[in-house]
Chains A and B, each alone.
Chain A
Amino acid sequence: MIRAFGVQKWFGGKRALGPVSFEIARGETVGFLGLNGAGKTTLLRILAGELRPSGGTLEVGGTDAMREPLAVRKLVGFLPEFPPLYPDMTVRDYLRFAGMVRGMDGATLQGRLEEVEALVGLGPVREELTRTLSQGFRQRVGFAQAIIHEPELLVLDEPAHDLDPAQIVEMRSLLHTLEGRHTILLSSHNLPEISETCDRLFVLDAGEVIASGSETELASHWLDTQQVEVALRAAANDLAPAVQRLRSIEAVRNVTVDERDGNGEGPVLVVECSDDCRAEICRLLVEDGWDMLRLVRSRRKLESIFLGLVHGTERTRRQSHSAA
């Protein structure tokens, strides 16, 4: 769906992006991860056709984005960080305008409006002015305008921006609904969010892609250890035999007891492994008669990868500066 080679963007004398090269297949959901200023938004704005790259080649759906930008923009739906709404329009009028400006005819648009409003949950507010909507509904309207013309490529910049936890869950479920129908690119600061939604991740730092792959691939390449959390029905003082038992697993490097009662399940064993040893942990503990309440790979994993990558490149940059 997307083939980028050496794409870069300069603002005046300052390099904001690249050169970056990557390929994204049709139907994939890909996340872009990076600190503020890493180049995520610049890359998404280029892919959405808002900005033209300063160099490199970019193909979207087999069309050269530099030579035929209008043909490419027809394939793309874009939700920027702040939804591009007209405050003086009702939701229905705004979505009709968004469809028509992308070349949809009246008859097709009428059916599609009903469909999108139902999909995104805009029925109750369709006759309200967009300026009167809550942040959650504004984001939904922004989402609706991005999919109204059934684009092949959906580009979402921080789609969970400013949403409360309930709205984030709704947005995630909406994205799952659209998976497979569109190629989806999204950026987010919410690491668990991006890891749950995306098939593949690109980690950006200082305008460059410093790593890419699925979360598991990134972990196996970039993390020495994986972290597994195990909740057992027992008091913290009684967990010593379980700790000993887990340390007997070859891949386990360390076991600690986290006494914080975060989920109302009592203390949690935090197991650091060099490989994915969840199955072995489960088997041993059940064999020994422990009541297991929960066993999960730590959600902090992606955060660890991300911070490791970013700090690693920062260290490399500093070293090259001091060497120079």
Chain B
Amino acid sequence: MVRSGHAVKVILQRELAAYLKSPRGYVVAAALLLLAGVLFYAEALGPSAGERLSADVLARFFYNTSGLIAVAAVALSVRLFTDERQTGSMVLLVTAPVHEHQIVLGKFFGAAVFLTVLALATLYMPLLILVNGRVSWGHVAVGYLGLVLLGSAVLAIGIFASALTRNTLSAAVAGGVLVGTMFLFWPLSFVVDPPLSRVFAGLGLHGRHFNDFQTGVLHLRDVVYYLSVTYFFLLLATKTLQTRRWQ
């Protein structure tokens, strides 16, 4: 048996190297940075930006970037198992003396590190606000924590979708539908009656749980929510891989 941490680290390093060597990693990074920059310019610097409090501009930046991070997380995660199955390399992992949860965690952390680096690459925009306006470092730090937690939850959903099928397109559709549905829970919570509205608001990936992060307020319940979603979908991915040994 391979030590749990060792196996996770080895798989994480391979995944990270794969992002850095493949055009896909750079395409996702370029698209995310370009769109984040365009949106920031339009909302904060452009001719139609108007007068706004710097804290509002920062909150708006985190709101826009959260959507981009979610899309990037789906794009990065849905290929994690489908590519392995298509090339046949999955056999190496499933015949190695490692648990399924070590495989899932290695891939998850590899993607999470890459996504965190992408998120931090947008840091120059909050710094511009920080230099020219009046916002706190705490607001910036909490906003980025929210982006990383949201990104992690979406990565976990994408990894689960990827474990379900050997076709990347099918995994992308499944992952997109799952993430989209969980994003829609928040607006749906306004059009249904209680107690369903409270359930939808509580389950929504965005809205109630991200609003406080974007305004710089840290609530333990929001952190627990994102960690729970991440754990739940990573567990489902692990169980899916285990089930495949019986099929």
Interface residues of A (CB under 8 A from B): 11, 48-52, 54, 70-71, 73-74, 76, 78, 80, 82-89, 93, 97-98, 100-103, 145
Contact = CB atoms under 8 A, between A and B. Distances in A.
A13 to B, nearest CB: 13
Contacts of B91: 50, 78, 80, 84
Contacts of A85: 87-89
A97 B10 contact: yes
B247 to A, nearest CB: 7
Given A85-B88, A101-B96, 18 more contacts: A49-B94, A49-B95, A50-B245, A51-B245, A52-B245, A73-B97, A76-B95, A78-B95, A80-B91, A82-B88, A85-B89, A88-B17, A88-B21, A89-B14, A98-B92, A101-B11, A102-B97, A103-B2
Contact of A84 (B7, B10, B92): B92
Q: In the A-B complex, list the 10 residue pairs whose CB atoms are closest, starting with the nearest.
A: A103-B2, A84-B91, A74-B97, A84-B92, A73-B97, A100-B10, A70-B1, A70-B97, A78-B95, A82-B88
20 contacts: A48-B95, A50-B94, A50-B245, A70-B97, A71-B1, A71-B97, A73-B96, A78-B91, A80-B88, A80-B91, A84-B89, A85-B87, A100-B6, A100-B10, A101-B7, A101-B93, A101-B96, A101-B98, A103-B1, A103-B2
Contacts of B95: 48-50, 73, 76, 78
A101 B87 contact: no
A50 B93 CA distance: 9
B48 interface: no
B3 A87 contact: no
A11 B10 CA distance: 32
B246 interface: yes
Contacts of B99: 70
B1 A145 contact: no
B22 interface: yes
Contacts, number: 76
Nearest to A74: B97
B97 A87 contact: no
A89 B89 CA distance: 12
Secondary structure dominating the interface of A: loop
Contacts of A70: 1, 97-99
A187 to B, nearest CB: 15
Contacts of A80: 88, 91
B49 interface: no
B18 interface: yes
Nearest to A157: B91
Contacts of A50: 91, 94-95, 245
A280 B99 CA distance: 61
A84 B3 contact: no
A86 B89 contact: yes
A134 B149 CA distance: 44
Interface in B86-138: 87-99
B246 to A, nearest CB: 6
A76 B91 CA distance: 13
A80 B130 CA distance: 57
B182 to A, nearest CB: 32
Contact of A103 (B6, B89, B94, B245): B6
Nearest to B19: A88
B98 A84 contact: no
Contacts of A102: 2, 96-97
Contacts of B98: 70, 101
Contacts of A93: 17
Contacts of A89: 14, 17
A35 B99 CA distance: 33
Nearest to A46: B245
B239 to A, nearest CB: 14
A78 B91 CA distance: 9
A11 B42 CA distance: 56
B10 to A, nearest CB: 5
Contacts of B18: 86, 88
Given A52-B246, A70-B99, A84 B88 contact: yes
Contact of B14 (A52, A82, A97): A97
Contacts of B6: 100, 103
A174 to B, nearest CB: 20
A86 B97 contact: no
Query: For B6, B17, B245, which residue has the most chain A Cβ atoms within 10 angstroms?
Result: B245
A67 to B, nearest CB: 13
Interface in B182-219: none
A100 B87 CA distance: 20
Contacts of A82: 88
B90 to A, nearest CB: 7
Contacts of B11: 101
A83 B10 CA distance: 20
A267 to B, nearest CB: 48
Interface in B1-56: 1-3, 6-7, 10-11, 14, 17-18, 21-22
